[in-house]
């Protein structure tokens, strides 16, 4: 557990290390900002706790004054009614298949993720991050009970003596979504007799469970970070919302299987939540059938050059959505008859552009709205016999990976590979 180190927080390096994601900024290329931070920058303050119940009450009273996206989803100090443990593994004893799917999901890795650990472990606003990446208070090593100078970077914290490290490592675990006030909630199965209590809850079928974390937009005046997840409003403005197709319809496709061991076969929502499909740990990711790449890519040979059409064919929101650092890239390179490169490759980046210094600000956004297309032509160089068109989804730049010492961390996924000649186009989706 990272202990509060006053010297560390006083360090001028702090600004440079606020290299965060989503609710965050990026490493500064402008070292000036770091140099100007006064040496006595105050930091988070850890105060002595009293008793568990008193500290919990103080933390809850403070959190109740904060906006919803700054609040944890639950407490979780006791297992839910009717089960012995809160851990995903214990739910998995009966919900075997759902557990196996969750285990390879990004949600299960939201705490252990090397990028999250690199970005979220150190700075004063860490208490904000943990509310979405480990949504129960029992998963947090420290609880906020107030702010100094009304500044989110300067929380007053107490140690949580009841930290459940095993549950914390599970990130966005079953109880994070399914337990409200100590009782398991679900979509409401018909003719069901679970061994634990269940409340049928409409939030499971109308996106609310998802939007609690995936729709949060806040700028913090004067800060080099912002909270910027607008997947909910992007979806609401598009054609899928109008057609009644929600987050789970695409991200939790259904399969015929039992909900629990030895139970009846039902049409059960998969717990994979595949997004762009870039793994967090090489080799661990939901299969392609969980969700296709959002991009539809077409390319044809013309006299002027290769004509490329990129469409947001499958995503129910902007492509890409979520983290502002993500982008989709389409590269076109020409080869001569012998397969040697000719001409200058063309590269198109589809994503947001942010400036983090002196304050966080979005300066560009050329993402594709649902079903929108963009087309362009990459001029034909002399001697070109064919073109290779490759699309890829990216999580971060090499520069950001280097900055965080994320050697070997999967940064991108090649999604499409096309070969274009005057005779026609071959290839398609290559993502696994
Ligand atoms: C309001 C909820 C919320 C808060 C608060 C939050 N995050 Fe996240 N975070 C998300 C969601 C949702 C995603 C998934 C979006 C995506 O992958 O594009 C995410 C993704 C990430 C990722 C992975 C990005 C990627 O491209 O795979 C990192 C790293 C991360 N967050 C770090 C942080 C840090 C550090 C903080 C605190 C400064 C933080 N988050 C605060 C909701 C939140
Ligand atoms: C990110 C939130 C989230 C997490 C984490 C999560 N679930 Fe779910 N779960 C849902 C949603 C949403 C539904 C309903 C989806 C639908 O009906 O389309 C659901 C449905 C279910 C159902 C009902 C199945 C059915 O046929 O309707 C069970 C059982 C279940 N989840 C168990 C689990 C278990 C066990 C875990 C952990 C291994 C888990 N869930 C983790 C969001 C979550
Ligand atoms: C001892 C076995 C067992 C354990 C442990 C268990 N469940 Fe269940 N659960 C069941 C059974 C059986 C059903 C009903 C299945 C059916 O009707 O097809 C069920 C149903 C559910 C439902 C669907 C409720 C509805 O009507 O929408 C959810 C959600 C759920 N469980 C979540 C969990 C979570 C989360 C855990 C861990 C904290 C857990 N379960 C632990 C056996 C178990
Ligand atoms: C407790 C907050 C929380 C809830 C609730 C939640 N998510 Fe997430 N989700 C996250 C975070 C955080 C990440 C990113 C984790 C990381 O990258 O380490 C994420 C990642 C994802 C991804 C994967 C992105 C990728 O490319 O890997 C998808 C898809 C997703 N969530 C969809 C959903 C859906 C659908 C629901 C509702 C059923 C939901 N989420 C509920 C916080 C949440
Ligand atoms: C019509 C189907 C569809 C719907 C509806 C949908 N998504 Fe997606 N989503 C996708 C596809 C396809 C991708 C993969 C995009 C890509 O290739 O990067 C995706 C990607 C994501 C990602 C990862 C970031 C990215 O762009 O790759 C997150 C997070 C996410 N979706 C969350 C949500 C949430 C939350 C909702 C509900 C508000 C939702 N999605 C509704 C199809 C859908």
Q: Which domains does the chain have, with CATH numbers?
A: 42-205 (no CATH), 293-429 (2.60.40.10)
Report how far residue 35's alpha carbon sits from residue 43's, in angstroms, rounded to the nearest whole number. 17
Cα 95 to Cα 257: distance, rounded to the nearest angstrom? 11
Residue nearest to atom 33 of ligand 2 (CA): 174
User: CA nearest 430: which of 388, 387, 392?
Assistant: 392
Ligand 3 atom 33 nearest Cα: 91
**Best residue among 215, 275, 290 to mutate for probing ligand 5, ranked by most atoms within 8 Å of CB:** 275
Report the separation in Å between the CA atom of 25 and the middle of ligand 1, taken as the mean of its atom positions. Answer: 11
**Are 214 and 229 within 8 A, CB to CB?**
yes
Question: Long-range contacts: 198-207, Cβ < 8 Å, 24+?
Answer: 204/248, 205/246, 205/248, 206/246, 207/232, 207/235, 207/246, 207/247, 207/248
Look at the chain and count its residues. 432
The residue contributing the CA closest to ligand 5 atom 36 is 247
Atom 19 (ligand 5) nearest CA: 275
Ligand 3 lining (C-beta closer than 6 Å): 80, 83, 86, 90-91, 93-95, 174-175, 178, 184, 186-189, 192, 194-196, 198, 200, 259-260, 263-264, 266
The residue whose CB lies within 8 Å of the most ligand 3 atoms, and thus the one to mutate among 260, 269, 271, is 260
Distance (Å, whole) CA 325 – CA 156: 30
Instruction: List C-alpha distances in Å: 389 to 119, 143, 211, 333, 397.
Output: 34, 50, 35, 7, 20
Residue 383 CA to ligand 5 center (angstroms) comes to 41
What string of pLDDT tens digits covers the 432 residues of the chain? 232 222 222 222 222 333 445 565 554 443 333 334 444 668 999 999 999 999 999 999 999 999 999 999 999 999 999 999 999 999 999 999 999 999 999 999 999 999 999 987 668 999 999 999 999 999 999 999 999 999 999 999 999 999 999 999 999 999 999 999 999 999 999 999 999 999 999 999 999 999 999 999 988 888 888 888 999 999 999 999 999 999 999 999 999 999 999 999 999 999 999 999 999 999 999 999 999 999 999 999 999 999 999 999 999 999 999 999 999 999 999 999 999 999 999 999 999 999 988 888 999 999 999 999 999 999 999 999 999 999 999 999 999 999 999 999 999 999 999 999 999 999 999 999
Taking the CA of residue 90 as reference, the ligand 3 atom at the shortest distance is 5
Instruction: Among 87, 92, 94, 203, name the best residue to mutate to test ligand 3's pocket (greatest count of ligand atoms within 8 A of Cβ).
Output: 94
Separation of 412 CA from ligand 3 center, angstroms? 36
Is 387 within 8 Å of 408 (Cβ atoms)? no
Counting ligands in written order, which one lies closest to the CA of residue 395?
1
274: number of Cβ within 10 Å? 22
- From ligand 2's centre to the CA of 326, what distance in Å? 27
Q: Whose CA is nearest to atom 29 of ligand 2?
A: 259
Element (H, E) at 91: helix 88-92
Whole-model pTM: value is 0.94
Residues whose CB is less than 8 angstroms from the CB of residue 258 and which lie 6 or more positions away in sequence, other chains included: 97, 264, 265, 266, 268
Find the ligand nearest to 126 CA.
1
């Amino acid at each position: 557990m990272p202990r509060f180190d006053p010297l560390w927080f006083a360090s001028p390096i702090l600004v440079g290390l606020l290299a965060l994601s989503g609710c965050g900024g990026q490493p500064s290329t402008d070292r000036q900002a770091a140099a100007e931070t006064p040496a006595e920058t105050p930091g988070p303050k850890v105060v002595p706790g009293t008793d568990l119940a008193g500290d919990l009450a103080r933390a809850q009273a403070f959190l109740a004054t904060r906006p919803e996206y700054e609040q944890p989803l639950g407490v979780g100090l006791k297992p839910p009614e009717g089960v012995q443990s809160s851990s995903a593994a214990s739910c998995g004893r009966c919900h075997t298949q759902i557990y196996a799917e969750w285990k390879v999901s990004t949600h299960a890795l939201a705490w252990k993720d090397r990028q999250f650990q690199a970005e979220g472990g150190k700075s004063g606003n860490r208490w904000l991050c943990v509310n979405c990446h480990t949504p129960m208070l029992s998963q947090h090593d420290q609880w906020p009970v107030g702010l100094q100078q009304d500044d989110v970077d300067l929380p007053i914290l107490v140690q949580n003596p009841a930290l459940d490290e095993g549950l914390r490592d599970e990130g966005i675990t079953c109880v994070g979504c399914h337990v409200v006030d100590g009782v398991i909630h679900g979509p409401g199965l018909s003719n069901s007799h679970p061994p634990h209590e269940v409340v049928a809850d409409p939030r499971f079928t109308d996106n609310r469970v998802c939007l609690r974390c995936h729709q949060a937009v806040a700028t913090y005046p004067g800060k080099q970070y912002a909270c910027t997840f607008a997947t909910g409003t992007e979806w609401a403005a598009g054609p899928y919302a109008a057609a009644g197709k929600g987050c789970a319809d695409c991200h939790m496709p259904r399969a015929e299987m039992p909900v629990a061991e030895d139970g009846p076969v039902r049409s059960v929502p998969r717990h994979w939540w595949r997004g762009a499909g870039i793994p967090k740990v090489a080799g661990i990711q939901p299969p392609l059938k969980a969700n296709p790449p959002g991009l539809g890519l077409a390319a044809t040979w013309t006299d002027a050059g290769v004509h490329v059409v990129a469409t947001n064919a499958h995503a129910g929101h902007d492509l890409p959505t979520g983290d502002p650092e993500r982008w989709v890239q389409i590269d076109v390179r020409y080869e001569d008859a012998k397969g040697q490169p000719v001409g200058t490759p063309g590269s198109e980046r589809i994503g947001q552009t942010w400036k983090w210094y002196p304050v966080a600000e979005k300066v560009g956004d050329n993402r594709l709205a649902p079903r929108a297309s963009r087309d362009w032509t990459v001029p034909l160089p002399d001697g070109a016999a064919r073109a290779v068109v490759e699309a890829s989804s990216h999580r971060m730049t090499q520069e950001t990976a280097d900055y965080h010492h994320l050697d070997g961390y999967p940064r991108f996924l090649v999604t499409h590979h096309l070969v274009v000649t005057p005779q026609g186009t071959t290839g398609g989706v290559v993502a696994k």
